[in-house]
Amino acid sequence: MSITCSFDGFGPLADELRGGKNVSTIVMENMEFLDRENRKRGRPIKTGVNIVISQINLHQIPEILSYIERIGWLASLDVYRYTSDNQIEDDRMKIEDLDELRRVIELAKRSPAVVTPTWLLDGHVRYRENNLPKLCPYLLSPSLGSRFFVHPNGDVKVCLGSKVGNLLAQTPREILDSSEWRTRQEEFVDCRGCWTTCHTPFAKLSNYDWEESTRAYRVLRNYKNFPSNGAEVP
């Protein structure tokens, strides 16, 4: 069993990003309560956060990582993206300072809490420099990499937010045989490609070499060996 929450900033910045009041204070209080109770029981629940890096929170990422390391949670990092048809773009969040992004990525690669593969972290900079080959899981690894998102009304959508069918009206086989799905596949070919933690990791399994595997093992081992006797974390 695992529990994951979003954590993108502290103070007023967190309120701005998540549209609430005292967001980071409330989230941290609940994270720390959960952490105390979890450690009393030997940490049967794997706990982690998702961090979305954007231009307006770049300066807080080191502090966020430091906090996550202090309480012994895991962290998955992504960079703000705006390629989906169903997403409202926010120009303020688009990365402009690539030098600062590089610095943050290097810090994340050294963090004992970050589970995101190093090749994926490095790719966030190279993608924004237009210096990466296209890695589309729907094209390169369709059986293992294709991801479909089922909405409450039955609509089935893919990475760009495009609808390919409806499970209340069609079987999975009918959806995969449909003209809508063929159209989406053609769009995947024409698409410039993306670089995200939702899709890219499944595009090319050969990226998970020995070095990457041992790094992942060390991160998970550190998590497992983190203090679990219920004592307060300094």
Cβ distance 141 to 205 under 8 Å?
yes
Alpha helix ranges (H) inside the chain: 11-18, 23-40, 61-71, 98-110, 118-128, 137-140, 142-145, 172-176, 179-190, 210-225
At residue 85, does pLDDT exceed 80? Answer: no
How sure is the predictor about 231, in pLDDT bands with cuts at 50, 70 and 90? Answer: very low
What integer pLDDT is reported at residue 230 of this predicted model?
38
pLDDT digits 0-9 by tens, 24-63: 999 999 999 999 999 888 889 999 999 999 999 999 999 9
More confident site: 194 or 121: 121
At residue 75, does pLDDT exceed 60? Answer: yes
How sure is the predictor about 77, in pLDDT bands with cuts at 50, 70 and 90? Answer: very high
- CA dihedral in degrees (158, 162, 166, 172; nearest 10)? -40
Least confidently predicted of 103-117, 133-147, 198-212:
198-212
The structural domains of the chain, ordered by start, are: 2-129 (3.30.750), 137-222 (no CATH)
Report the pLDDT averaged over residues 110-127.
94
The rounded radius of gyration (Å) of the Cα atoms in the chain is 19
At residue 86, does pLDDT exceed 60? Answer: no
pLDDT digits 0-9 by tens, 199-223: 888 777 777 888 888 988 889 888 8
What integer pLDDT is reported at residue 83 of this predicted model?
59
The gap from C-alpha 177 to its chain's centroid, in whole angstroms, comes to 31
DSSP 3-39: EEEE---SHHHHHHHHTSSSHHHHHHHHHHHHHHHHH
What integer pLDDT is reported at residue 229 of this predicted model?
39
At residue 70, does pLDDT exceed 50? Answer: yes
What average pLDDT does the structure give for the chain?
89
